[in-house]
Amino acid sequence: MVQPAPTLQLRSSAEIPQIGLGTWPMDDAEAAAAVEAAIGIGYRHFDTAENYGNERGVGEGIRRSGIARSEVFVTTKFNRKWHSRDGVREALRHSVERLGTEYVDLLLIHWPNPDQDRFVEAFVGMRELLDEGLIRAAGVSNFKPAHLQRLLAEDLVPDVNQVHLDPYRPRHDVREADAGSGIVTESWSPIGRGGDLLAEPVLTALADKYGKTPAQVVLRWHVANGFVTIPKSGNPERMRRNLDVFDFELDADEVAAVDALADPAAPLTDSDEFGH
């Protein structure tokens, strides 16, 4: 077993393990097997969503492992049709039923969907769920600084903003907006979906230096930046390696060398245009 990831303290006072297991695009059966294996490896944090259609599998994997519910941190997210004060309560009820857990640790607005302009109302409903103890933390996903500003103007501060972020897409505008309000930035697709990023010479050189893989170097870069991150793997050996990044450190020059991979032309999905 790998040492479980250290936790970061959220504004709500919940503690989130800094590395979790992503579960998109697993189906229920894949998610159940992956989550059960991941708990055996040392993972204590799982990322799912209504939209992934695998919350049942994630819950099943937790139960099969035999671990206490309180020992794992579960994030889920809801779709655009629930963006209202009562809608989020309904969304949570369905998610909890599918997960088979009594509560959710972190509930996220999956996409802001500014065309329907109801994410502020949705967050008001989430704060009520938080006050009632039905969720441990309330956050957002794919929010740009302008979306965050709409919440902050109403004194609504998310615990987490989960966004597409990797060395090609450092998202400085989002990170700075998050940090300015004590919001933890969480990175999705952190290793570039296992693509070209992992062949970058700067990463392979650092991997050789530390006896690690390029994916581990990238994940260590996320950790060094203070992000929570959720690499997905269905392969137990890659799962193990993705969690095993707490026994080496990148120095400031090495972090800067990875920062230099930033590519302003790297594609990003525009959350003013896309959402579900």
Ligand X SMILES: NC(=O)c1ccc[n+]([C@@H]2O[C@H](COP(=O)([O-])OP(=O)(O)OC[C@H]3O[C@@H](n4cnc5c(N)ncnc54)[C@H](OP(=O)(O)O)[C@@H]3O)[C@@H](O)[C@H]2O)c1
| 222 marked as part of a ligand binding site | no
**CA 34, 40, 42, 45 torsion: positive or negative?**
positive
Which x/- pattern, by CB under 6 A, does the window 232-271 give for ligand X? xxxx--x--xx-----------------------------
8-state DSSP, 212? -
Interface residue with ligand X, options 18, 76, 113, 162 (CB under 6 A)? 162
Q: Which residue number, 118 or 188, has a Cβ lying nearer to ligand X? A: 188
Which x/- pattern, by CB under 6 A, does the window 216-235 give for ligand X? --------------xxxxxx
Interface residue with ligand X, options 168, 188, 221, 227 (CB under 6 A)? 188
Q: Are 147 and 188 in contact (CB under 8 A)?
A: no
Amino acid at 33: A
Interface residue with ligand X, options 138, 165, 215, 223 (CB under 6 A)? 215
Give the residue among 70, 71, 35, 69 at the shortest CA–CA distance from 52: 35
Within 9-28, the residues that bind ligand X by CB under 6 A are 22-24
Q: Give the other-Cβ count within 10 Å of 187's Cβ.
A: 25
Q: Are strands 228-229 and 73-78 parallel, antiparallel or unpaired?
A: unpaired
List strand residue ranges (DSSP E) for 165-264, in order: 184-188, 228-229
Interface with ligand X by CB under 6 A: which range of 58-66, 123-131, 182-190, 246-254? 182-190
Within 81-140, the residues that bind ligand X by CB under 6 A are 110
Beta bridge partners of 186: 162, 228
Q: Which residue number, 79 or 116, has a Cβ lying nearer to ligand X? A: 79
Interface residue with ligand X, options 93, 172, 193, 209 (CB under 6 A)? 193
C-alpha distances out from residue 52 to 8, 26, 113, 173, Å: 26, 8, 18, 28
Omega of the bond leading into 25 within 30 degrees of 0 (cis): yes
Active site residue 52: yes
What torsion do the CA atoms of 151, 156, 159, 165 make, to the nearest 10 degrees?
Answer: 10
Q: Decide: is 275 part of the binding site for ligand X (CB under 6 A).
A: no
Q: How far is the CB of 47 from ligand X (least distance, A)?
A: 4
Q: Decide: is 190 part of the binding site for ligand X (CB under 6 A).
A: yes
Query: What is d(CA 130, CA 226) in angstroms, rounded to the nearest whole number?
Result: 24
Q: How many residues bind ligand X (CB under 6 A)?
A: 27
Q: How far is the CB of 132 from ligand X (least distance, A)?
A: 25
Name the one residue in this structure whose structure tokens are 């809608």.
87
Interface residue with ligand X, options 113, 161, 185, 189 (CB under 6 A)? 189
Q: Decide: is 192 part of the binding site for ligand X (CB under 6 A).
A: yes
Two tokens at 122?
């949705």
Within 37-56, the residues that bind ligand X by CB under 6 A are 47
Beta bridge partners of 140: 109, 161
Instruction: Report the catalytic residues.
Output: 52
Question: Where does this chain bind ligand X (CB under 6 A)?
Answer: 22-24, 47, 110, 141-142, 162, 188-194, 198, 213, 215, 230-235, 238, 241-242
Q: From the annotation, which residues make up the binding site for substrate?
A: 110
Q: Report the binding-site residues.
A: 110
